[in-house]
Structure formats: structure tokens, C-alpha cells
A and B are shown apart, each in its own frame.
Chain A
Amino acid sequence: MSPAELPGLTITGLRECLRTRDVSPREVIEALRTRIEDVDPTIGAYLSIDFDAALKEAEKVDVDLPLGGVPIAIKDLINVRGQLCTCGSKILANYRAPYDATVVQKLRSAGAIPLGKTNMDEFAMGSSTENSAFKLTRNPWDISRVPGGSSGGSAAAVAADLAFGSLGTDTGGSVREPAAMCGVVGLKPTYGRVSRFGVTAFASSLDQVGPFAKTVRDCALLASAIAGVDPQDSTTLPADVPDYSRNLDVDLTRVRIGVPKEYLIGEALDEHVRTAINAAVEKLQSLGVEIVMLSLPHTEYAIATYYIIATAEASANLARFDGVRYGQRAENAHDIFEHYTRTRGEGLGAEVKRRVILGTYVLSSGYYDAYYARAQKVRELIRGDFANAFEKVDAIVSPTTPDIAFKFGERSADPLKMYLADIFTNAANLTGICGISVPCGFAQVEDRQLPIGLQLLGKALDEQRILQIAHAYEQATDWHKIAAPLSARR
């Protein structure tokens, strides 16, 4: 295997080379470094990379561990000790993490080497990574288009073979949406499946860390490595973590998958996406799956509910950025009020300001009952919809996004339009269930192929099931074998 070919491997393939001592962890890091230095100036997936720290870790790593010697890219709101952790925000431009997040510790225990911090929408607020205070990340399938967001850097890094796998976070679709737009696999685990300790909070009742990978098997490997109860996060679930990758090949006959009639949203759904999803559903049927039409009657309220709860929680979580203990401070303020307003006014970007203001408003005296309290009740109704559905089916299928990757600037002036694209993803966060996006075809646009994602939603703690279905679908199709023009596999 030549160094130039190495970055094109899957984690599973790389593991084989490392275990047989075909390549050393050091050679892997060096090969990736060459590729990143070559290609990332075009893509912009990374905000910072400490190669020296990674090379040091590579010297002492045990390659016989489940992820021994595999470098993994980390979204820049997950703390990696000693490294910058900007959250995509100017206010944290110089922030260095004093400790490791639990997911980073767990990756290290499994033998993985954290390598590089990936670009993102500021504080994970956005669907295109255009809200990063630092730079644009370009879609490896068409560099005039966004990679999706908010974990756009993590998704683009994997699609362009600048990473073998990566971690992102998903609060309303921020793993699944960029996975779909970049043509890779992305998993949002069940709320509480993965620790949030050391992950900068956006909306604490919705946030969850999830992996990106080139295949479902790789995604399963990463999911097993990061999942599990954590004494540092009291919302983690005390349930055993299976080795998801060992139990992927199963027969799908007698598996029942639901198609929600509310998700057939007519003209709001891109024609390419509709065609690809219909074909994917037929493919699943040909694998023995029984397709069941069902109803999620409160779907029309999901986005409104989400944007009330997410912004309310964000307004509280982001109060910590006050220029006192960390982050940038506006100097020479005349009083404490000016200290706060200037620090936050100068340090936070437009989308973050909009959301904190909206969140403050829906929690404020006189409006709390009309917005926040009501949204919490509607959240319960939406949860009921899914509980009813999962009595009839094992999983729910839908597009991941109503549209393909769009061009830079196309939606940034219209926040509401950006929010409406979360229609298929944010119910999973509101209800705490798990979801995965897997490539299911391409749209041919302006002589470019643009990836389309298939979403599978599963019951709480039923990651194994959706991974099995996604794996069976992937193995029955060739989508994962088609690599982006800017990947190492072309």
C-alpha cells in the first residue's frame, strides 16, 4: 500500500494493515498529513491540527486495540486536552481545552488517536458551516456548495479522505444532515447513549455526539467505542454497549419499516431526493423488509417546537460566555453592563445572537407559557407519535434532508428557510431516539454528482437495529463505492 493510497482506506481496511504490521501508526499519520497539506487548503475541513501530539501518541499506541492507531478527527466543540477548542466562535478563538472530553478519553482507550479539530457552524448553530467565524468548508463533491452543518468539517474530512472517521454533534440533525450532503454515513445515537462531558453545550436536552465514517461498519466501530455510561454525565444511560460491528449481517425478512405519510411533503421535497428515496424503499423491500404506511400526526409542529426549546436552552448555556473566566473580553468597558454587552456583541456571530435573543424572549416573563411551556407539551405529543409508531414498526425511513447541498450564500440571508430544512431530522432529538444517514444515490446537477442521504430512525437504544438495516442496504447498493472527486479514491 503506497502512502498516497492509505487515506482512501476505510477504518476496517486500515485496521487490517495496522494489525498485520503492514504499516505503522506513524506512517498512517504521515500519509494523512501529506494528504491534508495537499487537499485541505481547497476543502477547509480543519481549523487546527497538532501533528506533533498525534505523532507522539502514535509511538506508544497499541495497534491490537479495537481502533489501535486509527486517527480520528474531532469537531471543534469537543475538548481535546491541550488543543484549541474554538466552537467555531471568535469569542473562543484562543481557548485551549484543559481536559479531555469523555468521548476523547474513550477513543484513546480504544487505541484511536485524535487528529485535528474540524470546522463547524458557531456553537453548532447552522446547517451549512457558513456560520463558522473562521472559514468556509467546501463540499468535496462540488466546491461551490456547502458541506451541510453544523458538523460540516467532520463530514467533509471523511468524504475527502482527510480523515478515516470523525466525531460531530447532532442537536437537530447536525451529524445526519452533513453526512447526507457529503455522501458519508453519520449516526445520531440515542440521547444518553454517549457522554456529553467535555462537549460545549448548545441545547442540553437535545445534544448528542455521533460518528461519521465511510461505511456503516466503520460507523458501528466508532459508535461502540464512544458509547456508554459516564459518571461525569448524569444523563448517560446505564445500559450495556454491544460491539455493534460484530452483529451487522442479519436477515431483514420480518423487519418492519414505517413510512410516515406526513413526510411525503410534496413540492417541498427535491425531485432527485424523492426519486432516490422511493428507489431505496423498493430496495429495502427487495431485501425482505415489510414497508408499513403510518402517521406521525404532530410532525407539522416539530420545527417550531425545536426552535423554541433549542434556543431557550442555548440562551442559558451561552450565558457562560461573559468574558470573565475564559474567552475574549472587550477591554475598557465603563461598567459591568457594558463589559457584558460589548464582550458578547463583539465576540458572537449573527446566528448565535439571533438564537440567544429568541431563546431569551421565549423564556421571558409574559411569554414563557405561550412559547416555552407550550413547546414542552407539544414535545410530549411528538414523543407519543413516535412511541405509537414504534409499536408497529422496527424503524422509520425518510430522506435525511429535503434538498441536496446548496451553494454558498444561497440561504444565509433567510434563517427561517435554513431552519425548515431540519424537518426530517429534529424530531429524533426532541424524542431522544437514534437515527442514521446512509448514502442512497446522487442528483445530477450541472454535470456534478451530489449525494443524497437515506435516514433510518430507531427506538431509544436500538442503534444495533438501524445499523443492521443501514448495513444491509449499503451492501446491496454501490453508493458507498463511489467516491467524491476530491477524495483519494479517484
Chain B
Amino acid sequence: MDVEYVARLARIGLTSEENALFQKQLGQVLRYIDKLKEADISGVESSAHAVPMFNVLREDEPRPGLTVEEALSNAPRQANNLFIVPKVVE
């Protein structure tokens, strides 16, 4: 694994020390999980979930939710009932 590349995919900035350390540590973890390649999975259906429940629906009725003030209460920056973010287009 190229840690620097994958960290970019995950939008995580790493210092060069972290980069080197994780390269080593995750290498060990990957060597360990390669064990799974030995498992015989022929004919096995995959499971994303341990519980056999599908398409759980509820009535589509309005319910109380957060107010605008509550929804914005943890925003790093806000103004005019909006989340303020850095400018992304020139």
C-alpha cells in the first residue's frame, strides 16, 4: 500500500513522520490480513449485515426536528442561517 496516496484519497494530511510510521505499521497489518486469502469462499454468499432485515419502512409523516439554530450550533463558521465555507471556485 502507498500510504501517501491512500491518505490523499481519504483526505487526511500526514506529516512525513506519520507517513513513514504508518507505512511500516499498516504493512504489518496487511501482511496479517492476507491470511484471508487462504479461506475457501467458493459458493459463499456475502453478508453485509448480521441481521436478516430488509426494506424497513416507516410512515412518511412530519416529525419535530432540529431548529436552524440547533443545526448550526456546532458550525465552525456560520452567518445568515448558513454554514460558511472557504471559497472553492475562483
Binding site for B on A (CB under 8 A): 94-96, 98-99, 191-192, 205, 231, 234-235, 237, 298, 300-301, 303-305, 307-308, 315, 319, 322-329, 333, 335-342, 344-346, 348, 350, 353-354, 356-361, 364, 370-371, 373-381, 383, 414-416, 419, 430-433, 460
Contacts and interface: CB of A to CB of B under 8 A. Distances in A.
Contact of B36 (A95, A191, A305, A346): A305
A378 B85 contact: no
Interface in B41-70: 41, 44-51, 53, 56, 58, 66, 70
Nearest to A311: B29
Contacts of A339: 85-86
Contact of A374 (B18, B39, B73): B39
A379 B13 contact: no
Contacts of A325: 74-75, 83
B79 interface: no
A329 B77 contact: yes
Contact of A301 (B1, B11, B36, B46): B36
A360 B3 CA distance: 10
Interface of B: 1, 3, 6-15, 18, 21-22, 25-26, 28-30, 32-37, 39, 41, 44-51, 53, 56, 58, 66, 70-71, 73-77, 83, 85-86, 88
B86 A333 contact: yes
A463 B79 CA distance: 49
B47 A357 contact: no
13 contacts: A303-B32, A307-B29, A322-B11, A324-B85, A327-B74, A328-B76, A335-B88, A341-B11, A358-B26, A359-B10, A374-B41, A377-B46, A460-B51
Contacts of A431: 50
Contact of B86 (A336, A350, A415): A336
B22 A235 contact: no
A376 B36 CA distance: 11
A298 B39 contact: yes
B29 A415 contact: yes
Contacts of B26: 354, 357-358, 361
A169 to B, nearest CB: 16
A353 B22 contact: yes
Given A234-B53, A357-B22, 15 more contacts: A99-B66, A192-B53, A205-B49, A304-B34, A324-B83, A336-B88, A341-B8, A354-B22, A357-B6, A359-B10, A364-B9, A383-B50, A415-B25, A432-B51, A433-B50
B50 A430 contact: yes
B84 to A, nearest CB: 9
B86 A345 contact: no
Contacts of A323: 76
A423 to B, nearest CB: 12
A370 to B, nearest CB: 8
Contacts of A345: 12-15
Contacts of B22: 353-354, 357
B56 A234 contact: yes
Contacts of A324: 75-76, 83, 85
Contacts of B3: 357
A416 B36 CA distance: 16
Contact of B33 (A95, A340, A371, A380): A371
B12 A344 contact: yes
Contacts of B7: 353, 357
Given A301-B39, A307-B29, A344-B11, A376 B47 contact: yes
A356 B9 CA distance: 10
A78 B1 CA distance: 34
B35 A300 contact: yes
A372 to B, nearest CB: 9
B29 A358 contact: yes
B2 to A, nearest CB: 9
Given A98-B70, A192-B53, A324-B83, A308 B36 contact: yes
Nearest to A431: B50
B47 to A, nearest CB: 5
Contacts of B86: 333, 335-336, 339
A249 B46 CA distance: 40
A373 B28 CA distance: 21
Contact of A344 (B13, B15, B85): B13
Contacts of B76: 323-324, 326-329
